[in-house]
Amino acid sequence: MSDIHDQAPRRITILGATGSIGCNTLDVMAHLGGRGAFEVPAITGMGNIDLLARQARTAGAGFAVTADPDRYQDLKQALSGSGIEVGAGPSALVEAGERETDLVMAGIVGIAGLAPTLAAVSRGADIALANKECLVSAGDLFATAMTKGGGRLLPVDSEHNAIFQVLEQAQRHAVERIILTASGGPFRDYSREQMAAVTPEVAAAHPNWSMGLKISIDSASMFNKALEMIEARHLFGMKPEQIEVIIHPQSIVHSMVGYCDGSVLAQLGAPDMRHAIGYAISHPHRAPLPVERLDFAKLAKLEFHAPDETRFPALALARTAMQRGGLQGAVLNGAKEAALEAFIAGTIGFLQMADIVAATMDRLDDGRRASMIEDVYAADREARAIAKAIMERPA
Ligand code: NDP
Ligand code: MG
Does the beta carbon of 97 sit less than 6 angstroms from any atom of ligand 1? no
The vertex-284 CA angle with 132 and 114, nearest 5°, equals 20
> What percentage of the chain reaches a pLDDT higher than 70?
98
Over residues 154-167, the mean pLDDT reads 98
Per-residue CA distances from 229 to 119, 160, 292, 385 (Å): 25, 10, 27, 25
Domains and CATH numbers, the chain: 3-155 (3.40.50.720)
Q: How far apart are CA 181 and CA 179, in angstroms?
A: 6
- Indicate whether 2 pLDDT > 50: no
Confidence of residue 1 (pLDDT cuts 50, 70, 90): very low
Q: Whose CA is nearest to atom 41 of ligand 1?
A: 211
Residue 212 beta carbon below 6 angstroms from any ligand 1 atom:
yes
The 10s digit of each residue's pLDDT in 224-249 is 999 999 999 999 999 999 999 999 99
Residues 252-296 pLDDT 10s:
999 999 999 999 999 999 999 999 999 999 999 999 999 999 999
Minimum-distance ligand 1 atom for the alpha carbon of 110: 32
DSSP alpha helices (H): ranges in the chain?
20-31, 49-59, 72-78, 90-98, 114-122, 133-136, 139-149, 158-166, 192-196, 200-203, 213-221, 223-236, 273-282, 314-324, 328-345, 352-363, 373-392
Kindly state the average pLDDT of the residues 54-79.
98
Give the integer Cα–Cα distance in Å for 286 and 282: 6
Between the CA of 224 and the centroid of ligand 1 the distance, in Å, is: 14
CA 145 to chain centroid:
18
Please state, rounded to an integer, the average pLDDT across all residues of the chain: 95
Tell me: the pLDDT tens digits for 318-334?
999 999 999 999 999 99
**Confidence band, pLDDT 50/70/90 cuts, at residue 7:** low
Instruction: Over range 127-153, report the average pLDDT.
Output: 97
Give the Å distance between the CA of 67 and the centre of ligand 1.
Answer: 12
Position in ligand 1 atom list of the atom nearest CA 52: 47
Q: What's the whole-number mean pLDDT along residues 171-198?
A: 95
Q: Is the peptide bond before 284 cis (omega within 30 degrees of 0)?
A: yes
Q: What is the number of the ligand 1 atom nearest to the C-alpha of 18?
A: 9
Per-residue confidence band for 6, with pLDDT thresholds at 50, 70 and 90:
low
In a 10 Å sphere around its CB, with 0-12 CB exposed, 13-18 middle and 19+ buried, how is residue 331 labelled? buried
